[in-house]
Amino acid sequence: MTATTPATQRHDGHSAQEYDPQALWQKDKDHFIHPFTDFSVFKEQGCDLITDSDGIYVQDAHGNRFIDGIAGLWCVNVGHGRREIGEAMAEQATRMAYFSTFNNLSNVPATLLADKLAELAPAHLNHVFYSCGGSAANDATIRLVHYYFNRLGKPAKKRILSRNNAYHGTTYLAATLTGIASNNWEFDTLDHLVTHLSEANCYRRPEGMSETEYCDHLVGEFEATIAEIGADNIAAFIAEPIMGAGGVLVAPKGYHQRMQAVCRANDILYIADEVVTGFGRLGHFFASEAVFDTQPDIINCAKGLSSGYAPLGATLISDELYEVLSTPQGPGGVLSTGFTYSGHPVSCAAALKNIEIIEREGICENVREVGPYLEERLRSLSHHATVGDVRGSHFMMCLENVADKETKALLPVEARVGDRVAFEAQKRGLIIRPVGHLNIVSPPLIWTRDVVDEVVAILDASLSATTESLRADGFL
């Protein structure tokens, strides 16, 4: 590697910072404990440094440019390098970067954003509790839900029903809600608080079951679990409208509505984790009501809320819950929960500008227009020997790789098929996300049809190369 990369021109005319990629690579390898990283690989190979970005593209320290097929990590919804978001943040940071929101203090961006979120959310969700990301939003929510039932004189209502393969984050409680078994290998979880139901996986539903029967089966399992645990012991059900990291699993038609009806009948709160589906990914600010016709008691969001320009999470709470949460426990009683950075002014300024851009540029409309095209074009890749399923909705898509399309048998883990496809795509200028045997495509919401065509051509070539390499290595 060269000692210093040549200065490259950015889209905005500024020259890129100069980097010494080798020195940075070494420092990173020596000191950065990366999230979700296989350290047996990392200790040998280190990381790729992503240094620049522009629209749908990112660039590494060597000047290689890639189409971003994962929106950073399901979050850079309005695309990269939005100068006006940077300017809004800089303006707020220099005017008043931070002050407490505890004890009856507030700031302008947090106030305006709460008002805007109440406008965008389903009608009964008018109250916002801020956190710093998705895990913290889910964690804080469960504490609030427990507090809510304590205040109602129902202290036994503690158990949360989640689902296998759900992803809700990695704080202690969010990790317990998460149902992806490998995520919690050798980690402890707070098992007395959470019970996992089956995920809704249409591709791998029991042989011979129609989608309608499968839906009945899942709802039946929910009812049987409630009967077993007792509704008096259950506080809430939490679900992603479409399961994301667990494999972009789209539930059978009517599933969420029916699960919500069961919740209502049993005095169980329905929490929608819209950390990924919120802010346009499915063509609407929130998917719960607009796409799935549900009215959750709580919606959690993060990621696309600020398009990743600053860390931010928000819990949107119904009027009914707010009435209880906002009633003091006694004289001088306070709702004693929150973070130093709840309603951080710079993050909220980023989110306000982000929402302004989504509305002004018709980004939800773009997703509704280009999304079905992306689905259709990705489905055209099903002819590849290893592509067992192409699924998802709009800008939230996934390819499931298999060894045998008939039996749906998986390739051995050592084949690292998801990594292979992602590697081949990266060689061709596209970053997609490998998750085990899956490849996730969750792009910035500004992809056009032309970009979709370019991406599908890259994936087509990458899948052919993967099949060849799997054959060469004796896995097929």
Ligand X SMILES: Cc1ncc(COP(=O)(O)O)c(C=O)c1O
Residue ranges in contact with ligand X by CB under 6 A: 133-135, 138, 167-169, 240, 244-245, 273, 275-276, 302
| Complex with ligand X: residue 301 or 387, whichever CB lies closer | 301
Task: In angstroms, give the least distance from the CB of 31 to ligand X.
Answer: 21
| Complex with ligand X: residue 138 or 288, whichever CB lies closer | 138
| Complex with ligand X: residue 305 or 470, whichever CB lies closer | 305
Task: In angstroms, give the least distance from the CB of 468 to ligand X.
Answer: 32
Task: In angstroms, give the least distance from the CB of 239 to ligand X.
Answer: 10
- How far does Cα 225 stand from its chain's mean position? 27
Task: In angstroms, give the least distance from the CB of 344 to ligand X.
Answer: 14
CB atoms within 10 A of CB 216: 15
| Complex with ligand X: residue 241 or 252, whichever CB lies closer | 241
Alpha carbons within 13 angstroms on the beta-carbon side of residue 83 total 5
- As a whole number of angstroms, the distance between CA 199 and CA 165 comes to 6
Q: Which residue is nearest to ligand X (CB)?
A: 134
- As a whole number of angstroms, the distance between CA 354 and CA 356 comes to 5
User: Is 454 exposed, middle or buried, given 0-12, 13-18 or 19+ CB atoms closer than 10 A?
Assistant: middle
- How far does Cα 408 stand from its chain's mean position? 26
| Complex with ligand X: residue 89 or 175, whichever CB lies closer | 175
- As a whole number of angstroms, the distance between CA 24 and CA 16 comes to 16
> Measured in Å, how far apart are the chain's first and last C-alpha atoms?
35
| Complex with ligand X: residue 377 or 394, whichever CB lies closer | 394
Which strands form 387-393's sheet, in the order they lie side by side? 387-393, 396-401, 438-441, 433-435
**For residues 191 and 176, is the Cβ–Cβ distance under 8 A?**
yes
Which strands form 298-301's sheet, in the order they lie side by side? 125-131, 313-318, 298-301, 269-273, 234-239, 159-163, 194-197
| Complex with ligand X: residue 276 or 363, whichever CB lies closer | 276
Task: In angstroms, give the least distance from the CB of 335 to ligand X.
Answer: 22
Which run of H or E residues covers position 145? helix 134-151
Task: In angstroms, give the least distance from the CB of 168 to ligand X.
Answer: 5
Distances (CA, A) of 218 to 127, 168, 211, 292: 32, 20, 11, 17
Interacting residues of 76 by C-beta distance below 8 A, sequence separation 6+: 53, 68, 307, 308, 444
Task: In angstroms, give the least distance from the CB of 191 to ligand X.
Answer: 19
Task: In angstroms, give the least distance from the CB of 173 to ligand X.
Answer: 12
| Complex with ligand X: residue 274 or 289, whichever CB lies closer | 274
User: Is 114 exposed, middle or buried, given 0-12, 13-18 or 19+ CB atoms closer than 10 A?
Assistant: buried
| Complex with ligand X: residue 174 or 470, whichever CB lies closer | 174
Task: In angstroms, give the least distance from the CB of 200 to ligand X.
Answer: 15
